Chains A and B, each alone.
Chain A
Amino acid sequence: MSTLVLTLITGVGLGALYFLVASGLSLIYGLMHVLNFAHGAFLTLSAFIGWWVAQALGTESWGSFLLSVLVGAGVGAAFATVTELVLIRPLYERHIEQVLVTVGLSFAAVALFEGIWGTDPIHIAGPPWLRQTTEVLGARIPNTYWVLMIAAALVLGGLVLFLKRTRYGMIIRAGVENRSMVTALGIDVRRSFTLVFAIGGAAAGIGGVLAMHYSTFVSAHLGSTLLIFAFIVTVVGGLGSLTGAAVASVLVAVLQQFANFYLGGTGDFIVVILLAVVLLVRPAGLLGRKA
């Protein structure tokens, strides 16, 4: 019983991490039709800078932890904004080139991070509570998972509010559905491109700092590893659907954890099988629309 609970809750927690990365990917693809391979780089840079901030302020305090998360969000947003303005915007409407430039940036960023911070993983520390566990129905749940879940819930709630309640949110929802008609109403849709990049980058940045605490180290490859699963989540959920990304994040991660525990560590394999099945049976994803 306790193993079941442990597997389930850690699955949801891991799903929360996937969602932080996948939410931005899904929004960006939905609006701009760009698969952003540089998303992992936003995450990694945020983690490194977040760690630097935490170290400067004392790693054990909650204040420095929270500040490092906020700084991570800011760094992610800034990096993503610059990427959109400098690399993506000049290639407006050239989707293949846009994707290729993000691929290039992802490679270049990893190399740059290795150049600055070295190739070895850097072990990190945080508030001691994060190292401890909380008992739920006999299962001892590592506390980082709770933090991941809270962060993802806040990001999801914030995104939903933003999309439903603000004019820019409305433009983004309309643009996901029919971008050319948004411009035909006199709206400069490119501004919302920059905005979704910034939002996606911020979410990834939060994910980066938390992923660092989750894995207890930071390395230049932190983002690339997570990005693969985030892509799978995005495709399974339906490209462009935020709800789809949320549902698929939890589904994929729980399945992965269960397979790892009960099927001899085959989690990654099972996830790829799930991806294949979804692509065969429901190519648009669980909650995606047909192209």
Chain B
Amino acid sequence: MSGSTDSILEVTGLRCSIAGQQVVENVTFQVPATGITAVLGRNGVGKTSTLRGILGLIHRRGEVRLAGERIDGLPTHRIVRRGVGYVPEDREIFSKLTVAENLALAERQRQPRREFVAELFPDLVERRDQLAGTLSGGQQQMVSVARALINDNKLLLVDEPTKGLAPKIVAQVADALAEASKIVPILLVEQNLDVVRRLAGGAIVIGGGRVVHTGSALDILDDEDLTRRLLGVHAEPSAPHSTETAK
């Protein structure tokens, strides 16, 4: 899956800090130009910080290349305009704006992909004039994902899109990501290993602020010993929320 020649994102020696505290020590990996690549690892190893570091939302050093061009010196809005869609952990929708306003704010191009988004999430069309803060958690996640899908991006950074959602909604979000991955590569942080198993081709495992393993997602998840060692969990396909923890 991973090959340096056809990778969309190359991260080399990325170090990130929040308020002076190092949260990502030294991360190097590549994201292939197609499909979904999962970022795995125990809680608190720096998966979210890695995504935020790539976007320049937290202080970072190291080299980040998007489609061959360096983006590590750019401010966040410039990076995003180069074609990076971001679905943050905890959704971060604008609760006092309507659904339509949330989406309109995200539109960066002349002809946004409104039909595509409407097909994926018909609920949102019905609720377009509703304040986003009054939506259910699942619907808010759909707004968050829709904001990233409404533009033509080179890459999506998606952070725990199924966190805290009911199984039915998890499936719907996973469907949407599967559909989106046909047109745009996705770097996906996900704790729900069933979702990873279903969606991800490649996987990057982070431990202690570094990349400790790279390979095929299925190879990692099928190897019980490896899964326990790297992720600290058993991969049990039958229990959808076996990996969900309180935090």
Contact = CB atoms under 8 A, between A and B. Distances in A.
Interface string A179-191: 0111111111100
Interface string A140-184: 000000000000000000000000000100110110011011111
Interface stretch (B27-35, B93-101, B182-190, B199-207): B93-101
B112 to A, nearest CB: 12
Chain B: interface size category:
20 to 34
Given A173-B94, A177-B94, A177-B95, A185 B80 contact: yes
Given A170-B101, A170-B104, A180-B76, A186 B57 contact: no
Task: Pick the most buried of A173, A178, A185, A187: most chain B CB atoms within 10 A of its CB.
Answer: A185
B97 A186 contact: no
Contacts of A173: 94, 96-97
A182 B80 contact: no
Contact of A187 (B55, B77, B92): B77
B97 A174 contact: yes
B21 to A, nearest CB: 17
Interface residues of A, number: 17
Contacts of A171: 105
Nearest to A169: B101
Nearest to A191: B77
Nearest to B87: A184
A181 B80 contact: no
B220 to A, nearest CB: 29
B128 to A, nearest CB: 14
Contacts of B92: 178, 181, 184
Contacts of B95: 177
A180 B81 CA distance: 15
B108 interface: yes
B1 interface: no
A174 B77 contact: no
Contacts of B88: 181, 184
B57 A184 contact: yes
A170 B97 contact: yes
A278 to B, nearest CB: 22
B100 to A, nearest CB: 10
B15 to A, nearest CB: 20
B75 interface: yes
Contact of B55 (A177, A182, A184, A188): A184
A174 B76 contact: no
B96 A186 contact: no
Interface string B74-85: 011100110000
A187 B96 contact: no
Given A170-B104, A180-B57, A186 B94 contact: no
Given A183-B77, A186-B77, A186-B80, A174 B94 contact: yes
Nearest to B96: A177
A229 B242 CA distance: 56
Interface in A177-231: 177-178, 180-189
A256 to B, nearest CB: 31
A185 B96 contact: no
A179 to B, nearest CB: 11
Interface string B152-196: 000000000000000000000000000000000000000000000
B77 A188 contact: yes
Contacts of A180: 57, 76
Given A177-B95, A181-B94, A184-B88, A170 B77 contact: no
Given A177-B95, A178-B94, A185-B106, 18 more contacts: A170-B97, A170-B105, A173-B94, A174-B97, A174-B101, A174-B105, A177-B94, A180-B57, A181-B88, A182-B105, A183-B76, A183-B80, A184-B55, A184-B76, A184-B88, A185-B105, A186-B81, A189-B77
The 3 closest A-B pairs by CB, nearest first: A186-B80, A183-B76, A181-B92
